């Protein structure tokens, strides 16, 4: 068994390492699609802690993504220096936040925002919790949209541009890397960084799931009253779930801002929150491989269907808009999947489906 797992691990590692190199020959756009999918996987893993493990329906998760993105945008662009004389006096050469400081800082600030969201919602459940978290997500977006007067902090709906790419030592991920006669494009370099962060997030999620903390979250998800009766501190456990889940969102936001070089409030709409929730539910609540599968499919499917919607639009002589048709195809695909697999594409195995010791030979011991 261990040998088979090692073989699968090595094959998967080689495939993931070679994937962007193969896609480069087709075009950088395909590598960019995979990069975006990795960011959504990171978001889905974070939301899975809140929704999948602890059972707390969070419809405002994209707010933590926005917190991380705007934090890095402000500290790695000339925006604050150009608009705030005090900052310009303190940093005459501009703010240039390094990656080793950006990711921990983004994670910490997003975690604080997660705890601030969780504190007033501890006694809420189900639909009421969903409505409050949805409002929190919209409040953050509205703030980002309006904090351009009287002091221009976020530049309002215009967004923040000229965000510096990530630098790892002398290597800038915003420029292509030439090794001999071979070129690694910027999107490929970002792919390897995103992949490393996602692998670390998967390891953390697996360790959390198998820990006492993970089992406590699952107990709260299944029956909060029973969990409290068994002596679990549900208040602290919920806050910890919100905080740890938000950390993943903050890190994803930092990476997104550097990758895009531009952030604006439109990137953090309610539709994005619903999309991340759909990824978790479609893949399988609480099951990490299923969440990864659901996030990858929903992130990549719209781009793949873009090539299907174009010919279908041509068949109707342009009467159907390609973008609307693409959304319709995505919706039909999701409905079909949920009808065929109501527990998700790759759900967590039921405890009752596991083999009971002594039944290996086909009878109870």
- The reply to whether 214 falls in a domain is yes
User: Which DSSP helix (H) or strand (E) runs through 167?
Assistant: strand 167-168
Cβ atoms of residues 61 and 133 within 8 Å: yes
Confidence (pTM): 0.91
- The reply to whether 73 falls in a domain is yes
User: How confident is the model at residue 139, as a pLDDT?
Assistant: 93
Please choose, from the candidates 39, 67, 101, the residue with its C-alpha nearest in 3D space to the C-alpha of residue 260.
Answer: 39
- The reply to whether 75 falls in a domain is yes
User: How confident is the model at residue 351, as a pLDDT?
Assistant: 56
Confidence grade of residue 360 (pLDDT, cut at 50, 70, 90): very low
- The reply to whether 307 falls in a domain is no
- Model confidence pLDDT, tens digit, residues 221-246: 988 999 999 999 999 999 999 999 99
Q: What is the DSSP string of 212-265?
A: HHHHHHHHHHH-HHHHHHTT--HHHHHHHHHHHHHHHHHHHHHHHHHHHS-B-G
- The reply to whether 121 falls in a domain is yes
- The reply to whether 176 falls in a domain is yes
Give the domain range for residue 210: 29-267
- The reply to whether 202 falls in a domain is yes
CB under 8 A, 24+ apart: contacts of 157-161: 157/264, 157/265, 157/266, 158/264, 159/262, 159/263, 159/264, 159/265, 159/266, 160/70, 160/73, 160/74, 160/77, 160/79, 160/262, 160/263, 160/264, 161/77, 161/261, 161/262
User: How confident is the model at residue 356, as a pLDDT?
Assistant: 40
Work out how many domains the chain is built from and give that number.
Answer: 1
d(CA 218, CA 232): 12
- pLDDT over 90 for what percent of the chain? 53
**Averaged pLDDT of the chain:** 87
Who's near 63: CB < 8 A, 6+ residues apart? 113, 117, 136, 137, 139, 140, 141, 249, 268, 273
- Model confidence pLDDT, tens digit, residues 302-326: 777 777 777 777 777 767 776 777 7
Which position has the higher pLDDT, 240 or 122? Answer: 240
- The reply to whether 60 falls in a domain is yes
């Amino acid at each position: 068994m261990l040998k088979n797992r090692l073989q699968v691990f090595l094959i998967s590692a080689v495939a993931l390492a070679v994937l962007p190199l193969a896609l480069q020959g087709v075009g950088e756009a395909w590598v960019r699609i995979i990069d975006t999918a990795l960011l959504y996987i990171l978001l889905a893993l974070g939301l899975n802690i809140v929704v999948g493990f602890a059972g707390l329906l969070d419809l405002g998760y994209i707010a933590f993504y926005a917190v991380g993105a705007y934090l890095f945008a402000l500290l790695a662009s000339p925006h604050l220096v150009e608009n705030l004389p005090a900052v310009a006096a303190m940093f005459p050469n501009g703010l240039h936040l390094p990656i080793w400081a950006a990711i921990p800082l983004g994670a910490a600030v997003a975690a604080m925002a997660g705890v601030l969201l969780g504190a007033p919602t501890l006694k809420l459940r189900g639909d009421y919790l969903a409505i409050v978290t949805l409002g929190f997500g919209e409040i953050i977006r509205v703030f980002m949209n309006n904090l351009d007067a009287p002091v221009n902090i976020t530049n309002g709906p215009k967004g923040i541009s000229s965000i510096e790419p990530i630098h790892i030592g002398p290597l800038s991920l915003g420029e292509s890397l030439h090794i001999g006669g071979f070129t690694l494009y910027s999107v490929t370099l970002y792919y390897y960084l995103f992949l490393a962060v996602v692998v670390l997030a998967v390891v953390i999620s697996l360790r959390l799931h198998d820990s006492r903390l993970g089992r406590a979250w699952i107990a709260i998800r299944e029956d909060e009253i029973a969990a409290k009766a068994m002596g679990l501190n549900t208040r602290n456990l919920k806050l910890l779930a919100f905080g740890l889940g938000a950390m993943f969102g903050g890190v994803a936001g930092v990476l997104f801002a550097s990758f895009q070089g531009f952030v604006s409030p439109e990137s953090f709409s309610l539709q994005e929150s619903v999309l991340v929730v759909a990824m978790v539910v479609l893949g399988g609540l609480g099951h990490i491989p299923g969440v990864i599968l659901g996030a990858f499919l929903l992130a990549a499917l719209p781009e793949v269907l873009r090539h299907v919607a174009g010919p279908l639009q041509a068949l109707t002589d342009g009467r159907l808009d390609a973008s609307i048709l693409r959304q319709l195809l995505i919706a039909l695909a999701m409905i079909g999947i949920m009808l065929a697999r109501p527990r998700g594409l790759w759900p967590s195995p039921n405890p009752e489906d596991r083999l009971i010791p002594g039944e290996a030979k086909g009878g109870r011991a």
